[in-house]
Amino acid sequence: MPNVTIFAPGHTLAQPEEQYEVFIETCNGLCVDLIRAEPDKVHVIFVETGKHAIGHPGYIEIKLRSGGHRTRELMGEFMEKLEAAFEKAFAAKVRIRCFAYEGEYIFARN
């Protein structure tokens, strides 16, 4: 963990490969360096959505383990920087939601 899922319409995600790479590097860096995730535990996936209806064209959902070092202020900084990276890469606004779970309630494989 963290699991970062980016939902956006195809036309929003239709950017040059370099922009994806920069966004992914930034996202991974924020996960590892800022919120101190283990490098081999970061998971980033893009989900192309259908027609956009209401709200921002992008939505990012982050699921992660809660931890004493992951304060409200730190997570606010994480989301602010992730939002800026998304807007730079995809020229679109994004809504971000983080969900932190206690480790004892996470069951996982691989």
Q: What is the pLDDT of residues 45-71, one digit of tens each?
A: 999 998 777 888 899 999 998 887 899
For the chain, give the percent of residues with pLDDT over 70.
100
Task: Tell me the two tokens of residue 92.
Answer: 């679109």
| Cα–Cα distance for residue pair 15/19, rounded to 1 Å | 6
Task: Tell me the two tokens of residue 75.
Answer: 């997570």
Instruction: Kindly indicate the confidence band of residue 34, based on its pLDDT and cuts at 50, 70 and 90.
Output: very high
Alpha helices, H only, the chain: 10-13, 17-29, 72-90
DSSP conformation class of 40: G
Q: 43 pLDDT exceeds 90?
A: yes
What is the pLDDT, as a whole number, of residue 45?
96
- As a whole number, mean pLDDT of residues 2-22 equals 91
